[in-house]
Structure 1
């Protein structure tokens, strides 16, 4: 039962990456001669990191975790699909606005399973290697990293699709995926609570196998560590608490307790600290990479051949204006990026003073032109929004360098230079505050909330709904980092009600549909129930 249809795993695995992120170390077809040394094991492990980075480079984590909230709108000429945040029209089979059911590319999970396949192989092969070929502690460390990465990818799958196939065997032969009668081995979807338990098992191995990273070390924040595993434990246990409560399972509080203890350990022992927001260098420190808040992030650096051209895709293309390389201000992509309309701004920074253009420091730190009152996308032909300097766009990933080998007529030929955050310290602290609220430790939660508010230039908390305040601070801090929509699902709290009505929520419509390619190739995979009859495929 731990095998999966060949088209679901082997074909994506064998196809490999086709861009410059393709790592040589992913080619593991010569198993008999490859797994001989510690260096072999490390190269193979690096391949898992590279595959995961390649999976996340296109910005799907941002579109699923942020654009779905309704806080961002697409630009006049580009950006994310508005199907991510507008209610679907399912009135007839011919309608084109079918919400997520019109986004088959984001409904495809095969690339996630490509990473899983490689992680499975790395785990098996390293476990089988003799202990004496490794330096002291290295075998355990490598296995801890591999288990962490597999848990992380399955956690991504869990939050996106819920009920999804689970496979832990290393696929090394066609006999594992083809029956004796030459029919493919098939496997259906594993229930989300069972998949969640598998994630927690891998996390526990990672926590026990890894040590804390050292601040300032070369691996700080960009390789798995005990702190990264504890952050993942906090998130995964909070998600399991949500699922266990939803399904009335026995003792859901145990997962909440575990989340709190994991995050407390991270806070006490991880060596992390909050970055200050009081100077202009804060943005670069946070997102250039390996800041004091970096628990785990995906390295993006053109100097290390781990970057991507922003004009070819990725989160920078979706979010950032640029300076055109021919000096033409009209090519700054102002009409082609996601932006925040005025109607959404009070939901993101409710304490910002538009008349004085001050209040919450994060508004102007993380965004350009936050003071803009535009509710319509900028366009040169718009009747209301014609000033390109008044597009409110997110600056978090707007670090880039020019591609020296660009063609003469490539005006946005930049390499991305901002790391992709997976977990940062602010996220962990506010998740801990959420855990404190839910376990009755409100004093501890308020202390964290006030620390976050103080850094943002705000007065101490004085409201009457502490959980909502914690979730508000998560919105204000983590917008654009792939977390917010899952916070809303976990707490059934949607500031924009049009993105999730109660009927959809009760039918688990917060999970994504499955692509037609998967449904056709594996008859044991059924469509996510809410999406039956609601997709364009």
Structure 2
């Protein structure tokens, strides 16, 4: 993948100067991606760089996540920047700055993971144990899998790059793979990661349990419902470590982080690393811009006791009586980004079971999420058919993950975009390849319809 020189510098010259509390090592300043990994300490620094890229503002820090919820039907744009409104209108153009930012940030994450994968196995530091090497490599595989999964569901097929980009001529001229081949790379990486990782619980760092979560989501997207159920069950059955905390707001309110709700979240310290989501959601009186706000439909759903239940804590009113989203609220901006919560495992398993005609079991999982929200249980009387159960799950996911990046991808993957979004042009179910990438690498081809 050839990119403009400033972007290339980001890909292979960025230093790993930020500090993650959950990776217990001080940063090594001004070390390039091409020279970092010579011993155990520098290997850990390089791995920290992978996590830092994952939490970057272009990826799970803001831009990529915003694609997932701005493109849905829960959020309105209150500002004047037309490129954000493109997501609301479902008419994203190739020169959109958000998709460009996300593309660059995701490939930066892949490049850093590739660096770890290429170099960690060759380190001869006697203090660097085989178990540590396996863990670092497993983490890099899993994060690279997540990155390609996000690319595939957003853009379709993309260039698959599995070696580090160390100079401008590396990895240029690589054509796009198909979406199916890109998803195949995701599974290959997850399969490679799973046996290398520890079985411990760590909500900020990839473990074998994180891979279970990513595989459950992956198989749901692939419509392999038996495997989706299997991997979701691996998490749900570990009730000692993963459970739906009550009430709903307990996983994020009162500065909570790393609760039993969380399978994998990104840590921000609020000083050297901030989650810029906060500024977009909070109103001016709280030091934000409120440029993203819950729309009237979502506010009505969340405040309906029979639908939102205690999830109404996701929204609040400012001093001008305007609703704003309150998932990201901390000052300084140290709110976690939630990549996978145990609620998703329940709803994945509910959907997978419904698709396999296990309707009573599907309702049990769905009702676990509803119970946490303070809602009454659905029954075979209220939801008597497979279609009714699947629609109830879809509606529950809309409210449960109201301000998280699921809604757009959920409706597209289930083939419901025409009915729900009135979007009949199937070309718009994936986004355009950013125009900057097309201009700088002639091997890339644009998606149809753009």
Q: TM-score range by the shorter chain?
A: 0.7 to 0.9
Alpha carbons 1:74, 1:80 under 8 Å: kept: no
How far, CA to CA, are the matches of 1:175 and 1:519 in structure 2?
A: 16
In the TM superposition, 1:186-265 aligns within 5 A as: 186-214=173-201, 220-241=202-223, 255-265=224-234
Q: 1:124 to 1:17 in 2, by over 3 A?
A: closer
RMSD, matched Cα: 3.0
User: Whole-Å Cα distance in 1 between the matches of residues 79 and 111 of structure 2?
Assistant: 40
- State how far apart, in whole Å, the 1-side matches of 2:81 and 2:17 are: 23
Quickly say closer, same or farther: Cα 1:338–1:298, change in 2 above 3 A: same
1:200: how far off? Answer: 0.4
- Indicate the residue corresponding to 1:114 in structure 2: 108
Distance 1:201 1:396, change over 3 A: same
- Aligned partner of 2:279 among 317, 327, 345: 317
Residue 341 of structure 1 corresponds to 295
Q: Is the counterpart of residue 307 in structure 1 residue 274 in structure 2? A: yes
Work out the CA distance in 2 between the residues paired with 1:227 and 1:80: 37
Q: Mapping of 1:511-526 within 5 angstroms?
A: 511-526=430-445
Does 2:264 correspond to 1:266? no
The TM-score with structure 1 as length reference comes to 0.73
Deviation, 1:68, is: 0.8
Q: After superposition, what is the alpha-carbon deviation per residue over 1:230-262, rounded to whole angstroms, capped at 9, x for unaligned?
A: 111111122233xxxxxxxxxxxxx33222211
Change (3 A) 1:120 1:30: closer
Q: By how many angstroms is 1:221 displaced?
A: 0.8
Aligned to 2:395: 472
Aligned mates of 1:26, 1:430 — CA distance in 2 = 44
Deviation (angstroms), 1:418: 0.9
386, 410, 414: which one pairs with 1:491?
414
2:8 counterpart of 1:85: no
**Please, which of 447, 463, 466 is the counterpart of residue 383 of structure 2?**
463
Contact 1:367 1:395 in 2 (8 A): yes
2: CA distance between counterparts of 1:363 and 1:526?
A: 43
CA change 1:24–1:129 in 2 (3 A) is closer
Secondary structure, aligned partner of 1:199 = helix
Change (3 A) 1:27 1:148: same
**Runs (5+) with no aligned partner, structure 1:** 89-98, 178-184, 215-219, 242-254, 309-313, 325-331, 370-386, 401-414, 532-537
Tell me the distance in 2 between the aligned counterparts of 1:323 and 1:275. 30
Cα offset, 1:30, TM superposition = 5.9
Q: Secondary structure at the match of 2:175?
A: coil
Rounded Cα–Cα distance in structure 2 between residues aligned with 1:472 and 1:322: 31
Q: CA deviation at 1:175?
A: 6.7
CA contact (8 A) 1:80 1:338 kept: no
| Correspondent of 1:450 among 354, 364, 367 | 367
Query: Deviation at 1:85?
Result: 1.1
Larger radius of gyration: 1
Contact 2:59 2:105 in 1 (8 A): no
Stretch of structure 1 that moved more, 464-473 or 130-139: 130-139
SS of the residue corresponding to residue 297 of structure 1 reads strand
- Matched residue of 2:71: which SS? helix
Residues 17 and 28, structure 2, Cα contact 8 Å, conserved in 1 = no
Distance across 1 between alignment mates of 2:371 and 2:345? 17
TM-score, L = length of structure 2: 0.87
In 2: Cα distance, 1:26 partner to 1:426 partner: 40
Are the counterparts in 1 of residues 160 and 176 from structure 2 also a CA contact under 8 Å?
yes
1:336-485 to 2 correspondence within 5 Å? 336-346=290-300, 348-349=301-302, 352-353=304-305, 360-369=308-317, 388-400=319-331, 415-461=332-378, 462-464=382-384, 465-485=388-408
| SS, match of residue 530 in structure 1 | coil
* 1:99-143 deviations in Å (ceiling 9; x for gaps): 445624424522221211111111111122248542352111111
Rate the CA distance shift 1:367–1:26 in 2: closer, same or farther, 3 A: farther
Q: Could you list the runs of 5+ residues in structure 2 that have no partner in the other structure? A: 21-26
1-structure distance, mates of 2:71, 2:175:
27
Q: 1:35 to 1:522 in 2, by over 3 A?
A: closer
